[in-house]
């Protein structure tokens, strides 16, 4: 008899999840973790465990252990105890970002005459923000439309020792009674049929629900996609883009006492933040150093603000690269020492790299139509050295820069 296929489509229903929460389910989870779910060991794991446990329970445990492995990138060690759904682990807020947002609520609550003892978390999902808010010391009421997700969020609060500060209910977030709530956070669904949703109008609830929520609750925040156009940011709201370890992870909108700027970029783990000041950056020739702003700075449209703080200038008015004549210290950008600047020409670039004994190149581009993969192939290099090549525009002209990474100087 052939083995039944192992399901990896997520928790199918409440019964499947509740079975994992029993003593027997916990034993199966522990055994699956011990045996492993890698390609080589999976069939052996399933075969052995199905001799002692129902096939559906084993399949649910295998799926859950795999989801925990994926969740580790966002939740660190907590993931080993937590529960997930496929969509939930994709959309959940990573611990570092959720903790940053929870601090914003905590800071706002310290304003004179304002006490924050509870937060309404709409579309709470598996509980990423619930956990961070509860750990910040506030009571959190979560609400989600999916019964399985609600059970998962409750379980996560319990296994992390936060059940006394968290309650989660199933319901329609657009029909919840908002009167009397001092603070709210909403993370609209941005996935459908396993795929990301990029159109804010297709969020669940739709984007236009967020200003309604903000009008009813004094302290309101909402998670949105990092690609949200600036033109969609509602009047009176602050838009914040957050990067973690140099990668743009999320964006959020803030209203009321949580909105202290129009646009903001925040860089984790350091917590460095910069806001819009209306700065205007000068444009000029490439100096001794190339400055590449963090992605959150670029998404927030705050390149000019960084230029002013470091005394830098744009190399092109339409390109998010800055330059300085000397080394500078800033957490908001990565620095490169410029060794060569030449008008882009495949022949000239190839000759220069060959003279330097360069065999491999890292190609960075901004404002260039050149395909880095094709470029590396056409360069036909064979040396032992390595170089970083930046393809961009300088004062409108296609240009190649050879640079040496220096890193961030906080």
pLDDT greater than 50 at residue 320: yes
347 or 9, higher pLDDT: 347
What pLDDT band is residue 209 in, cutting at 50, 70 and 90? Answer: very high
Helix 147-159 to helix 128-135 angle (10° resolution) is 30
pLDDT in the model for residue 14 = 86
pLDDT for residue 114: 64
Range 159-173 average pLDDT = 96
pLDDT for 12 beyond 60: no
Quote the CA–CA distance of 242 and 320 in Å, as a whole number. Answer: 18
Looking at residues 200-213, what average pLDDT do you find?
A: 91
pLDDT of residue 45: 81
pLDDT digits (tens, 9 = 90+) for 94-131: 999 999 999 999 888 776 666 688 999 999 999 999 99
Q: Which of 135-149, 324-338, 356-370, 396-410 has the lowest mean pLDDT?
A: 396-410
pLDDT given at position 194? 59
The 10s digit of each residue's pLDDT in 42-97 is 777 888 888 889 998 988 998 999 999 999 999 999 999 999 998 899 889 999 99
User: Distance between CA atoms of 246 and 338, rounded to whole angstroms?
Assistant: 21
8 A C-beta contact, residue 197 and residue 191: yes
pLDDT (mean) for 196-224? 91
pLDDT value of position 49:
87
pLDDT grade for 34, boundaries at 50, 70 and 90: confident
Mean pLDDT over the full length of the chain: 91
In the chain, the percentage of residues whose pLDDT exceeds 70 is: 93
Residue 46: what pLDDT?
A: 84
What does the pLDDT read at residue 112? 62
User: Is residue 211 exposed (0-12), middle (13-18) or buried (19+ Cβ within 10 Å)?
Assistant: middle
Region 389-393 average pLDDT: 98
């Amino acid at each position: 008899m052939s083995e039944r296929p192992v399901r990896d489509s997520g928790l199918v229903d409440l019964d499947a999840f509740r079975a994992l929460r029993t003593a027997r389910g916990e034993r199966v989870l522990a055994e699956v973790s011990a045996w492993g779910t890698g390609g080589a060991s999976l069939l052996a794991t399933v075969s052995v465990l199905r001799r002692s446990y129902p096939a559906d329970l084993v399949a649910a445990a295998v799926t859950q252990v795999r989801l925990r492995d994926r969740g580790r990138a966002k939740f660190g060690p907590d993931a080993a105890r937590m529960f997930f759904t496929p969509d939930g682990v994709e959309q959940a807020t990573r611990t570092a970002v959720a903790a940053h947002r929870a601090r914003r609520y905590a800071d706002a609550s310290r304003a004179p005459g304002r006490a924050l003892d509870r937060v309404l978390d709409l579309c709470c999902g598996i509980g990423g923000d619930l956990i961070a808010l509860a750990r910040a010391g506030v009571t959190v009421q979560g609400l989600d439309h999916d019964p399985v997700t609600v059970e998962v969020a409750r379980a996560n609060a319990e296994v992390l020792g936060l059940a006394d500060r968290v309650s989660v209910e199933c319901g329609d977030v657009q029909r919840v009674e908002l009167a009397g709530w001092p603070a709210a956070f909403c993370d609209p669904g941005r996935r459908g049929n396993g795929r990301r949703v990029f159109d804010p109008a297709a969020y669940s609830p739709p984007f236009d629900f967020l200003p309604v929520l903000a009008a009813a609750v004094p302290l309101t925040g909402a998670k949105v996609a990092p690609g949200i156009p600036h033109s969609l940011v509602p009047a009176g709201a602050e838009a914040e883009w957050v990067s973690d370890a140099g990668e743009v992870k999320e964006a959020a909108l803030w209203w009321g006492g949580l909105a202290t700027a129009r646009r903001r970029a925040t860089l984790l783990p350091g917590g460095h933040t910069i806001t819009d000041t209306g700065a205007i950056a000068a444009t000029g020739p490439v100096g001794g150093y190339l400055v590449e702003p963090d992605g959150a700075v670029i998404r927030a449209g705050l390149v000019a603000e960084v230029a002013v703080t470091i005394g830098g200038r744009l190399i092109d008015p339409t390109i998010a690269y800055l330059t300085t004549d000397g080394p500078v210290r800033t957490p908001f950008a990565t620095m490169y020492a410029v060794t060569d600047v030449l008008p882009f020409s495949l022949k000239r670039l190839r000759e220069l790299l060959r003279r330097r004994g360069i065999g491999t190149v890292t190609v960075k581009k901004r404002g260039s139509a050149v395909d880095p993969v094709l470029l590396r192939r056409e360069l036909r290099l064979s040396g032992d050295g390595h170089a970083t090549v930046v393809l961009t525009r300088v004062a409108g002209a296609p240009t190649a820069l050879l640079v040496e990474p220096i890193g961030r100087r906080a």
